[in-house]
Amino acid sequence: MEGKTTLSSGSRRLLIRMSSSFLREMASSSASSDVYMALVSALRNVLTLIWYRIFVPGNEGFVVLKSAGDSSEDLGSYLDWVLSKKTIAFTQTYDNTTVLFLPLVFKDEVKAILAGGIEETEVDVELQESLQLFSYLAASTLVNIELNESLSEKNRMIEEAWRFLNNLLDSFPDQVAVYDENGVVVFKNRAFGFQNLPSKCLAELEQAIKTASLTGEAVKREIECEDEHFYSLEVFPLDFGEHEYLLVRLDDITGSKELERLKKIDQLKMEFIANVSHEIRTPLAAIKAYAETMQYLIEELDPQTLKDFINTIVDQTLHLEEIVDELLDFSRIELGQLQLERSETDVVSLVKSVVNSLEKLAMEKDVEIRTNFDSEEILAYVDHRQFRKVVTNLVSNSIKYSDPSKPQRWVEVRLSQDDNALILEVLDNGIGMTHEESSKAFERFYRADTSLTYEVSGTGLGLSIVKEIVEAHGGEVSITSTKGEGTTVRVVIPR
C-alpha cells in the first residue's frame, strides 16, 4: 500500500526514545492540556499529522477540547463507533486523507478521543500497538490529574470550611477548646484562656473533663470562682471512629448572675416593704382600737379592764419601737454609719437579762430557754447595746421558729471563752432549714418560706443585722441547720 508506514531498526530506536520522553512528559503533566499536547507531539514524531481534534464524550454528544488544522469532515458516526469499540481505528475521507481515531481508555472508560488527519495510508501494527500504549498512559495520567484536582478541590473546601469554622468560633465570646484522649488541646478559639482560671475553677473544669471522658456523657454545670466570677461549663464527648475528643465550652455568666441577683434583691425589697408595712400597721391598729375604746367608754370601764387596755397599748408601743429601731439600725448599716462604743462587759449578765426579757414570748410558744455558761462571769470588750441586739435577735428567732408539732421545745444559749475569743452559741430543736435556706439566712430581706413564715412577725432583717454587728466587732457568725431537727448559730468575737 502506498505510503505504508513500516518501522526500521532506526525507527524503533526513535520510538523507544520517544516512549521514554513521553513517559517523562506524562510524569510532569499537571493539567489535561499538557497530556493532550504531549500525545499530539508524540504522533507528530512518527506520523505526518495534518490536523487534529480532541473530543471528550458528554451527556449531549462530543465536545471539542482542542483542535489544529482545517477539516470539514463530519466525524460524528465514527466517534460513536470508536466510543463503543474502545480501540484504535482508521478511515478514509473523500479527499483520500486517512483519519486516525485514538481513544484514551482507562478501566473500560473512554476519557477522550484524538482524531487526526494523516498523510500515511497505512500504519504498521507495531506502531499501532505503541500508539495504543501511549493512549493508555495518557488516559491513566488524565485520571490521576482528575483525582489530584478532585483531591485538591476537596482539600481546598476542607481548608475553607476549617477557616470558616475558626473564624466563626473566634467570633464567639465563649471560650471553646477541643481536647484529645490524652488531654492535649488540639483546637482553641481566640477567647480561650482556661489556663488563666483561678485554681478552684480550673479544678472543677478538669473534674468535668474527666467525668465526661470516663462516662462518655455530656457534663453541664455552673461554677463559681474565687474572684466572684460565674461560668456556665459544658463538656461534650465527640466520637470520630478510633479517636475520641472532648468539646469544652466555658461561658462567663457573671453579668447575668449579677442581674439575676439584683432582680432578686428588688423582689425581696418589695416583699420587705409589704412585710414592714404589715408589721407597723398591726401594732398601730391595736393601739388605735384600744385608745378609741378608752376615749369613748372610759367612764364605763372598770379599773382592771382599763389597766389591761393600757398594758396592751404599752406592749404594742414597745413592739412598734422595736420595729423602728431595727429599721434605723439597718439604715445606719446601709449608710456605713454603724459606730461601736466598746467597753468591758459582763456578757453573762447581759445574756441573763435578754433571757428574762424573752420569757414571756417563750411561755407563749411553750418553749424552754436553757443557759450554759463556762463561768459566772465572762468579760468581753464589746458594744453593750449592739451585742445585746445580737443575743436578742438570735434567741427570739429560735423561739419564734420553734416546732409546734414537738412535745418538748427548747432553746439553749451557751457562752464560753478561750484565750483569744468569746464564743456565743444559740441552739434550738425548731423547724430547722434546708442547706439552701441556711446559706441565705444572713442575706438582707431574706425569710425562709416555711409554714410559719406568715405567722411569725418580723422584718427579715434580724440575722443580717446580727452578721453586720458581729463583723463590725471583727468576729464571725455561722449557721448549721437540719430541716425538721433544729438550728445552731455560732458567734465568735475576738476578746
Q: Where are the domains of the chain?
A: 9-151, 172-256, 258-335, 343-494
Burial of residue 210 (CB within 10 Å: 0-12, 13-18, 19+) is middle
Q: Is 110 helix (H, G, I), strand (E, B) or coil?
A: strand
Q: Given a cut of 70, is residue 332 above it in pLDDT? A: yes
HSE value, Cβ hemisphere, 13 Å, CA-based, for 49: 20
Q: Given a cut of 60, is residue 180 above it in pLDDT? A: yes
Residue 419: which residues within 8 A CB-CB, separation 6 or more?
495
Between 50 and 258, residue with greater pLDDT? 50
State the maximum Cα–Cα separation within the chain, in Å, rounded to a whole number.
158
End-to-end alpha carbon distance in the chain: 130
State residue 278's pLDDT score: 64
State residue 2's pLDDT score: 40
> Hey, what CATH class is 258-335 in?
mainly alpha
Q: Are 391 and 371 in contact, with CB atoms under 8 Å apart?
A: no
CA angle 108, 110, 111 (to 5 degrees): 125
Lowest mean pLDDT among 236-240, 388-392, 415-419: 236-240
Do the two domains 172-256 and 258-335 of this chain adopt the same fold? no
Instruction: Tell me the pTM.
Output: 0.49
The percent of residues in the chain predicted with pLDDT above 90, rounded, is 35
Identify the band that residue 458 occupies on the pLDDT scale cut at 50, 70 and 90: low
Identify the band that residue 408 occupies on the pLDDT scale cut at 50, 70 and 90: very high
What is the pLDDT averaged over residues 186-209?
A: 81
Q: 3.40.640.10, 3.40.50.2300, 3.30.450.20, 3.40.50.1010: which CATH number matches 172-256?
A: 3.30.450.20
State residue 9's pLDDT score: 54
State residue 77's pLDDT score: 86
Residue-wise pLDDT tens digits, 89-126: 999 877 778 999 999 999 999 999 999 999 888 888 88
State residue 457's pLDDT score: 63
Q: Are 382 and 344 in contact, with CB atoms under 8 Å apart?
A: no
Angle between helices 384-400 and 347-357 (to 10 degrees): 40
State residue 3's pLDDT score: 42
Between 177 and 319, residue with greater pLDDT? 177
State residue 309's pLDDT score: 87
Q: Are 293 and 309 in contact, with CB atoms under 8 Å apart?
A: yes
Q: 3.30.450.40, 3.30.1490.20, 3.40.50.2000, 2.60.40.10: which CATH number matches 9-151?
A: 3.30.450.40
State residue 8's pLDDT score: 52
* Average pLDDT taken over every residue of the chain: 85
Cell representation of residue 280 = 407597723
Q: Which helix (H) or strand (E) holds 334?
A: helix 303-334
Q: Given a cut of 80, is residue 304 above it in pLDDT? A: yes
Q: Residues for the chain: how many in total?
A: 495
What is the pLDDT averaged over residues 324-345?
A: 82
In angstroms, the CA 431 to CA 451 distance is: 9
Residue-wise pLDDT tens digits, 126-142: 888 888 999 999 999 99
Q: In the CATH hierarchy, which fold is given to the domain comprising 343-494? A: Heat Shock Protein 90 (3.30.565)
Residue 156: count of CB within 10 angstroms of its CB? 10
Residue 399: count of CB within 10 angstroms of its CB? 24
